[in-house]
């Protein structure tokens, strides 16, 4: 039976849901885990013979685990949203995420290009063997396309745009794919899995839930995130910037009214430009019907056998359960704060002799 929920009349009960996995998060976690073990080997804390599984193996384990926690039905749509692109945002705001390459270079014991190549091959195998949809859109626009948008004409100085920028191709980020999916599939529940706080704002849409991999819960990480006001999150980020994305008012821009508008263009995932949204909508409109091919699944002798475990219901973490977890956490914090205040009062109270 279908029922309606919320003021938008969104039908969610017994309706297939859309699950979007932020592939970049799993990729970084998998490579970082490999790097941490490798460093222990190099430092002599682990034997040189210690087995290091490929990062794709770790990626697949994490994906199966989080899908079991979310709960998957056979007719649910699973999307893997990929980054690995020159973001269209860097055309408008060149400092965007400019610091991240340096953070990777600091870990010299990791061959990033090699491991990214492993993930590339693995995700192509996932695309070819499963009913999951791996979406990667690196070449949506060239620089000339972006130059003639209304936003470019209004916010950019044409003299600051190099020939190199005009000749390059620019694409979508995983955040964009998640954002457009939550709107495109407005008639069903959309659950996205990530750690990126930029995505908090999307929970203003009543059909959309954020399953965060940053919060420890029970025996591992993964629980629905509690966000009180997505609009407030967006407003603060536009005003104060976002250090993790290298958007720092007064440092990476001059904080003029034009700069503030540019920050809104870069940060606002609720109201993406129409010319951009149309491109991603077409991707969703043209998703093919896919069948499972178990013979092509990766890791045939181990993980492939576990693939259908994503449909088991023994590990599901519900949204309601998650909200109760945050309420308990809030009460514990309040209790500790009260105990601290009472202890301070006792310390200040004069000792009677």
Q: Tens digit of pLDDT for each residue in 177-192?
A: 999 999 999 999 999 9
Identify the pLDDT of residue 6: 38
For the domain 14-317, what is the CATH code?
Answer: 3.40.50.1010
Residue 250 has pLDDT above 50, yes or no: yes
Q: Tens digit of pLDDT for each residue in 267-276?
A: 999 999 999 9
Domain ranges (residues) in the chain: 14-317, 319-348
CA angle 157, 268, 30 (to 5 degrees): 105
Q: Which residues contact 153 (CB under 8 A, 6 or more apart)?
A: none
- Mean pLDDT, rounded, for 13-24: 91
User: Whole-angstrom Cα distance, residue 30 to residue 49?
Assistant: 20
Q: Tens digit of pLDDT for each residue in 276-288?
A: 999 999 999 999 9
Q: Tens digit of pLDDT for each residue in 82-135?
A: 998 899 999 999 999 988 777 677 889 999 999 999 999 999 999 999 999 999
Query: Which run of H or E residues covers position 5?
Result: strand 4-5
Mean pLDDT of the chain: 92
Q: Which residues contact 137 (CB under 8 A, 6 or more apart)?
A: 85, 171, 172, 177, 279, 280, 283
**Tokens representing 69?**
């926690």
The DSSP 8-state label assigned to residue 283 in this structure reads H
């Amino acid at each position: 039976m279908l029922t309606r929920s919320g003021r938008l009349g969104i039908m969610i009960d017994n309706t297939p849901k859309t699950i979007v996995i932020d592939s970049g998060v799993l990729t970084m976690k998998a490579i970082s885990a490999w790097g941490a073990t490798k460093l222990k080997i190099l430092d002599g804390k682990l034997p040189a013979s210690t087995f290091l599984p490929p990062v794709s193996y770790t990626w697949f384990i994490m994906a199966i685990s989080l899908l079991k926690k979310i709960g998957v039905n056979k007719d649910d749509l699973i999307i893997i949203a990929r980054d690995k692109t020159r973001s269209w945002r860097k055309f408008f705001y060149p400092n965007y995420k400019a610091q991240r390459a340096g953070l990777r270079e600091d870990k010299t014991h990791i061959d990033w290009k090699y491991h990214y190549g492993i993930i590339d091959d693995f995700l192509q195998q996932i695309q070819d063997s499963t009913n999951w949809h791996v979406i990667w859109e690196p070449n949506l626009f060239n620089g000339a396309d972006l130059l003639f948008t209304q936003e470019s004409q209004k916010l950019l100085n044409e003299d600051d745009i190099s020939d190199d920028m005009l000749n390059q191709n620019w694409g979508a980020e995983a955040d964009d794919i998640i954002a457009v999916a939550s709107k495109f599939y407005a008639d069903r529940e959309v659950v996205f899995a990530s750690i990126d706080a930029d995505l908090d704002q999307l929970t203003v849409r009543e059909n959309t839930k954020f399953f965060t991999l940053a919060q420890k819960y029970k025996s591992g990480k993964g629980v629905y995130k509690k966000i009180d006001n997505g609009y407030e999150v967006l407003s603060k980020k536009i005003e104060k910037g976002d250090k993790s994305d290298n958007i720092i008012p007064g440092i990476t821009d001059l904080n003029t009214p034009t700069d503030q508008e540019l920050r809104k263009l870069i940060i606002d995932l609720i109201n993406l430009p129409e010319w951009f949204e149309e491109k991603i909508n077409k991707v969703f409109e043209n998703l093919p019907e896919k069948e499972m091919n178990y013979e092509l699944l990766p890791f045939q002798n181990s993980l492939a056998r576990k693939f259908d475990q994503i449909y088991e219901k023994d590990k599901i973490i519900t949204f309601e359960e998650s909200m109760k977890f945050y309420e308990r956490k809030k009460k514990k914090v309040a209790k500790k704060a009260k105990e601290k205040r009472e202890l301070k009062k006792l310390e200040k109270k004069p000792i009677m002799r």
